[in-house]
Amino acid sequence: MRYRAIRTGWVRGSLGCLMGIPLLLVLGGGAMLLTLDSVAGVLGALLCLVTVLFCVSFLVAATRRQFIVDDKGITIVRSFSTLRLRWEEIAVIEQDSGYWATGAVVVVLRHPPGTRVTAWPTSDRRALFRGENPFALGDPVTVLRPPARAAIDGHRRWLARRSG
């Protein structure tokens, strides 16, 4: 069993196309600055190159977020860190119904007791990135979202295997 909440390929591709033209213009400006016979031209070209590299690294970091459910547990990939939670560590899986994290999967850990980890990539604000229609999701109090359903099903499967 494997579930991946956000597929970053098409998101990175579309944002790359959107950012590609302005970044090419910045690189072209940097190449034109290199034709100047002064230190200012070289520094300007380096500044253009650093700007492009910063934008590309920001694009990769911003679209890195993932929520993965597999047979061993849940993986929450954030922009700059990855959190791997094995099924043994998880006490309960809930779905948030609050305002800011509506529909997000909340994992309650066994140790330390009551520690709650919110998987931000699963919130309703990221529904389009998951390929879901945000207007067809329903009330988060009564309707489980696909990421929460996959996580709860995976946890139930693990509990059934463990109990025999």
Evaluate if residue 1 carries a pLDDT over 80: no
**pLDDT by residue (tens digit) across 114-126?**
899 999 999 988 8
Query: With bands split at pLDDT 50, 70 and 90, how would you rate the model's confidence at 7?
Result: confident
Query: With bands split at pLDDT 50, 70 and 90, how would you rate the model's confidence at 133?
Result: confident
**pLDDT by residue (tens digit) across 97-116?**
888 889 999 999 999 998 99
pLDDT for the residue 76: 96
**pLDDT by residue (tens digit) across 39-91?**
888 898 899 999 999 999 998 888 888 999 999 999 999 989 999 999 999 99
- Buried b or exposed e, range 81-94, using 16+ CB within 10 angstroms: eeeebebeebeebe
In angstroms, rounded to a whole number, what is the distance separating the alpha carbons of residues 54 and 70?
33
Q: Are 98 and 136 in contact (CB under 8 A)?
A: no
Evaluate if residue 134 carries a pLDDT over 90: no
Report the phi/psi class of residue 162: left, alpha or beta, with left for phi > 0 and alpha for psi in -120 to 50.
Answer: alpha
- Mean pLDDT of all residues in 120-139: 84
In this prediction the pTM is 0.79
pLDDT for the residue 83: 96
SS3 96: coil
Question: Within a 10 A sphere around the Cβ of 147, how many other Cβ atoms?
Answer: 29
